[in-house]
Amino acid sequence: MIVFPTEFVKTQLQLDTGKEKRYTGSLDVVRQTVKQRGVTGLYRGVQVLLTGAIPTYALRFGTFDHLKGLVSGGQGVLSPGQRMLCGLGAGVTEAMLVVTWIETLKVRLIADQRKEKPRFRGLHHAATTIVREEGLTGIYRGVGPTVCKQGSNQAIRFFLMETMRGVYTGGDLSVQVPYYFVALFGFIAGGSSVLCNTPFDVIKTRMQSGKYSSSFECVQHLARTEGVRGFYKGCLPRLNRVCLEVAFAFTIYDTVQKLFKKMWP
């Protein structure tokens, strides 16, 4: 709920294609949206993200911790390569099971709002309409770029988080990392993942808008019409959102883990 407006702005900018651009920047997206639809307009599609947030984070942290236990033999200490591999596994799992269809519905709802007469009445109506007209593949558009994006996202984030934790604790698992350092580490990890894989996010968004039949066609069109800068469209609002989101996520997760350890030592 806190960070969704930045996601809305990022998606609008990534969908703003053609010779005549609708928006001049992030602030213009906010200004036009609030003017036309009020503040609630910035939350168009938020129900999709809320619906997907619980299973996505459950899969993300659950898969990473499970793989971490398997790879480390229950010792909880990973090599740099193992950190990236476990993060990659977590990202691919969440992308295949939850994120792709959640992101597709979110993008389609946001893109629908750009029309003078929006077609979809809400999450359920959008999902049933797309499945009826396009089949299940309709809500799995852009699965390839989504897997690449989520896999690289979590590989980078968990690698950096585990590395920074290790540096702080000196490898001693009994040492507790203060929540403000966890938030800082999450902020850095989130920002690093954005800078490294925004092109995947742009391709994913364009694919999920329903305008392209394949990722290759999308990449070709994007490179031809907008050049290299087109692959980093919406990078700044995405950076704002992801840095906050990842900082919140790791801090909340650590807080809940500490609570569980007190309840079930």
Res 215: pLDDT = 84
On whether the 4-263 domain is CATH 1.50.40.10, my answer is yes
Whether the predicted pLDDT of 26 surpasses 90: no
Backbone conformation region of residue 241, classed left if phi is above 0, alpha if psi is from -120 to 50, else beta: alpha
Whether the predicted pLDDT of 168 surpasses 90: yes
Residue ranges per structural domain of the chain: 4-263
Considering only 52-66, 76-90, 206-220, which range has the smallest mean pLDDT?
206-220
The whole-number average pLDDT for the span 49-54 is 82
8 A C-beta contact, residue 86 and residue 67: yes
Res 77: pLDDT = 82
Q: Indicate if the alpha-carbon torsion angle 10, 12, 15, 17 is positive or negative.
A: negative
Confidence of residue 237 (pLDDT cuts 50, 70, 90): confident
Q: What percent of the chain has pLDDT over 70?
A: 100
Helix axes 179-208 and 4-15, enclosed angle (nearest 10): 30
Whether the predicted pLDDT of 10 surpasses 90: no
**Mean pLDDT for the chain?**
88
Assessment of whether the complete model's pTM goes beyond 0.85 = no
Q: Terminus-to-terminus CA distance in the chain, angstroms? A: 32
- Cβ count near 173 (within 10 Å): 11
Give the span between the Cα atoms of 242 and 55, in whole angstroms. Answer: 18
Residue the block writes with tokens 């960070």: 3
8 A C-beta contact, residue 199 and residue 232: yes
pLDDT tens for 61-97 read 999 999 999 998 877 788 999 999 999 999 999 999 9
Res 108: pLDDT = 84
Res 240: pLDDT = 83
Give the span between the Cα atoms of 248 and 8, in whole angstroms. Answer: 19
Selected residue with higher pLDDT from 164 and 235:
164
Give the span between the Cα atoms of 5 and 204, in whole angstroms. Answer: 19
Res 53: pLDDT = 85
Tell me how many helices (H) and strands (E) the chain has. Answer: 10, 0
Give the span between the Cα atoms of 87 and 81, in whole angstroms. Answer: 10
Selected residue with higher pLDDT from 204 and 250:
250
Phi, psi at residue 114, to the nearest 5°? Answer: -70, -20
Give the span between the Cα atoms of 164 and 157, in whole angstroms. Answer: 11
Q: Indicate if the alpha-carbon torsion angle 186, 265, 90, 10 is positive or negative.
A: negative
Q: What percent of the chain has pLDDT over 90?
A: 42
Res 172: pLDDT = 85
Structure tokens at 233: 């469209």
Selected residue with higher pLDDT from 28 and 123:
28
Whether the predicted pLDDT of 193 surpasses 90: yes
Confidence of residue 102 (pLDDT cuts 50, 70, 90): confident
Structure tokens at 109: 């709802």
8 A C-beta contact, residue 201 and residue 146: no
